[in-house]
Structure formats: C-alpha cells, structure tokens
Structure 1
Amino acid sequence: MTDDASPDLRASDADRERVAEVLRDALAEGRLDMEEFEDRLEALYKARTYGELTPLTRDLPTAGAAAAPAPVSFTKQPARDGSWAGRIVGGEGSSTGGVAILSGFERKGRWTVPKRFNCFALMGGGEIDLREADFADREVEINCVAIMGGMQVIVPPGVEVVVRGIGIMGGFEHPRDDEPAEPGAPRVIIGGLAFWGGVGVERKVTRAEQKRLKEQRRQEKLERRESRHELLRERREERRRDRGR
C-alpha cells in the first residue's frame, strides 16, 4: 500500500492491524480516552477501504499513516557489544506504553525504554523484552495493569529488578535465581496491579548469547574428548614401552 493509494481500494487485515497499533499507542500516551479509543476501534474493524481507515488516525502524530500505516519496528536486531554505559542513552523512549484489549502487544529487539512505560491488558497479553533495549535513564519504571490478562517482562542478566506490583486474585512474579546487579547496569522497577491476572518477570540471555554459550559448551566438550583420547594414547604408548623392556 502506498501513500497515493486510491481511497476506494480494499484494505487488508494487515492494514487494519497496523492502524490498530497506532490507536493503542495513542491510548497509552493519553492522546485518546477510552471511549474515543473504543469508538475508533469499532469503526476500524468495520472499515473496508483505505478511505475509511484514513480519518481514524488523521489527528494523531502519525498523520497520514492510516492510508499507508508504517508503525515503529520492534523486530530483533543483532545484539551490540559494549558496557552498560553505552545503553543509558537519555532522552525520550521510542515507545511510552502498550495496550492489549482482547489482543496482544510486544516491545522487543532494539528499542529505548522510557523513564516510565505504562501498559494495560484486559483479557489480553503483552511481552516487554529488555534484553536488547537501550534505557532513557539509569532507573526506569514499568507500570503494568493486567485485568484477566497477563504480561511477561524479560530482563537480561545483570539488571537490578525491583517488583512492587499488587496482586488481587492474581500476582506479580519475581525473577527466579536473582543475582547482584552489574556495575553501571540500569534499575528496573516493575509495579502496577494484577486483578485475576498476572505479571511474570524472568531473566534470559539474548539468542546471540545463547548461541555463543552453546558453541562454547560444544568446544569445551570437544576439548575434553580430545584430552581423554590423548591420555589413552599416552597410556597405550607407555604399555608398549613397558612390554619392550
């Protein structure tokens, strides 16, 4: 779909989903109230053409994107080398929140976590992956409200995590096998409310690091095997010398 696409052309499911993402971001940022969001979302899923999609985001920061939606990309990119200092970038976050109402959202890959990230899930779910993220400040807060829904926060090793959320017939899960923070690592405070829902927090390394560790273990296994073979060869050689005496 292009910017000069005819308003009479039929919109695809992918077009509608990209516009829905713009509306969810606008709700999270306070640009739309819940009633406006629900009205536009209802109109969105009734829309059949580009011309019907365009008015739904015309007054939002991504003006003009409704006819050719182009949301911010949160796909994974190769992990970077360097210290934590290189990941405390200051400024504003690349996304300030996420909303999932009977749906889902995710923030992962190369993105910047703002000082405060607000997310809301109603009978839906969300994934917030910080493993490859930059941070707008040394201390950031992730505020989660999950109502009959769930969210998962993934943090890399070395980051300090503080969980302050309240669970009502639900719960906030602390990361297992927690560990001391690395020097210069950011502090992530996770708060909010889980009502008949849950917010999970876990530590994981990046896929690139998983591959590196797997290759390292493979190399160590090969080295141990070669060492055993070398020891057996030496013993056989010693027995031959003993028999020849």
Structure 2
Amino acid sequence: MTAQLPEPSPRPVPPGGIRASHDDREAVVEQLRDAAAEGRLDFDELDSRLELALTAKTLGELATLVADLPASPSFSGSAVESRKPLVLKGGMFGASLGPGRWEVPGHVIAHGGVGGVSLDFTRVECRLAEIIVEAYAETSGVTVVIPDGWATDTSGIDPGVGGLTDKTTSDRLPGTPLIRLTGSGAMGGVVIRHPNKRERRKLDTPWR
C-alpha cells in the first residue's frame, strides 16, 4: 500500500500581499486628499494616486502610495480606523446645514449638484483645531459661511470654471478652527465668507 503524502501547507502571505478592503482604500484616499490640502501633492499627483488607490488590490499597493507622506492614524498598513465624513448633496433642490447648533465633524464633503449647498458654521460650538471642507461646486455651487475670527486655507482647491471667491479675513482668533477648503469650483463656483449684513442682524437676535 502506497503511503499518502501530506498535502503541502499553504504559503504564508506577506503583510503587503493581504487583500485591501473598501475601508483600507477609503482611508488612503482621505490621507491623499489631506496631503494635497497641505501642499504635499499637486493636483496631477493627487489624481494619479487617487486612481491607483481606488483600484488597489493589496495593502502593499496602498502603502506604496503614501510611503512618502506623514503617517496617518486612519491607515496603518494593516488596520483602519474609519472616520466617516459628513456628506451633503445638493441634488435637484439644494441642501443646507445651519445656521444653528450642530455637531461639527473634522471632515465635511459638499456636492453642489443642481440645487447647490449652503454650509453655515456661524452658530456652532467647535473645539477642533482644523476642519476639512471638500467642496465640489458642480452646477450650482457651494457657499461656506464661517464666524468672524475663524480663518481659512484655500490653497487646496481647484477654482475650475466657476472660480473661488474668498471674502474671509486672516484675523484668526486663538482657539478657533482653521477651515481647510479643498475640492473644485467646477461650473457653479465656491464661495467662503463671513456673515453678511442680513445674517448679522439675525445673529444679534437671541437663538431659540
């Protein structure tokens, strides 16, 4: 009787060869966008790396895309701590958030769509040092209103055809957030400003 040979054990998979999950890809996409907002990547590099990140099959492929960037807590190469951004979509009829007291996340994504998006921070209480706002104006644009004393960094946005209108001041008060504005002006344009006269009159009215 012929002795049966044992089946060969499966070869161990190297760490970089582990299959990437959707969360892994999303974490790297977020890290790449943050790097572009900080000026570490130009728009061509960002587009190229985003395309590779979204089609990556393994953790090793993802790690290569961020190897020359500061380490991110969202992507460690083997585990992901997902931080879900707040997403607003203008759709056909538009969307708005604020004025009012609402919980501010560290990352907001606004898609203007056909109806446009308005994002108003004037009555919020926020202890974050920075807030990333990704504004994709699309057809009708995105408007961001921030309180006096807050500042913004718009170096990470592509003005597109619609352009970027920045009516904010650089007089940032201690302890207030910095709005890092990224995305694209597309056709509708992106506006970031402090409250206008009409909005200021409403701010002087006690909130109920």
Please give the TM-score of this superposition, normalised by the length of structure 2.
0.52
Aligned mates of 2:130, 2:90 — CA distance in 1: 25
Shift of 1:100: 1.4
For residue 149 of structure 1, give the secondary structure of its aligned residue in structure 2.
coil
Aligned mates of 1:146, 1:191 — CA distance in 2: 11
Aligned mates of 2:190, 2:180 — CA distance in 1: 13
Larger radius of gyration: 1
Equivalent pair of 2:127/2:177 in contact (CA under 8 Å) = no
The answer to which structure has the higher helix fraction is 1
1:12 aligns to what?
none
Equivalent pair of 1:156/1:206 in contact (CA under 8 Å) = no
Aligned mates of 1:194, 1:183 — CA distance in 2: 30
Shift of 1:137: 2.1
Q: Pick closer, same or farther for the CA change 1:137–1:196 going to 2, 3 Å.
A: same
Aligned mates of 2:193, 2:147 — CA distance in 1: 8
Please give the TM-score of this superposition, normalised by the length of structure 1.
0.44
State the Cα deviation string for residues 214-244 of structure 1 (Å, max 9, x = none).
Answer: xxxxxxxxxxxxxxxxxxxxxxxxxxxxxxx
Paired positions, count: 120
Aligned mates of 2:102, 2:205 — CA distance in 1: 22
Aligned mates of 2:103, 2:126 — CA distance in 1: 5
For residue 134 of structure 1, give the secondary structure of its aligned residue in structure 2.
coil
Give the letter for the 2:160 counterpart.
I
1:173 and 2:165 are equivalent in the alignment: yes
1:210 aligns to what?
204
Equivalent pair of 1:131/1:206 in contact (CA under 8 Å) = no
Aligned mates of 1:107, 1:195 — CA distance in 2: 21
Equivalent pair of 1:113/1:136 in contact (CA under 8 Å) = no
1:100 aligns to what?
90
Q: Tell me which stretches of 4 or more aligned residues in structure 1 moved more than 3 Å.
A: 205-212
Give the letter for the 2:117 counterpart.
G
| Greater Cα shift, 140-149 or 203-212 | 203-212
Q: Which has the higher contact order (CA 8 A, sep 6+)?
A: 2
Shift of 1:183: 1.1
1:143 aligns to what?
134
Superposed, 1:221-236 pairs within 5 Å as none
2:51 aligns to what?
none
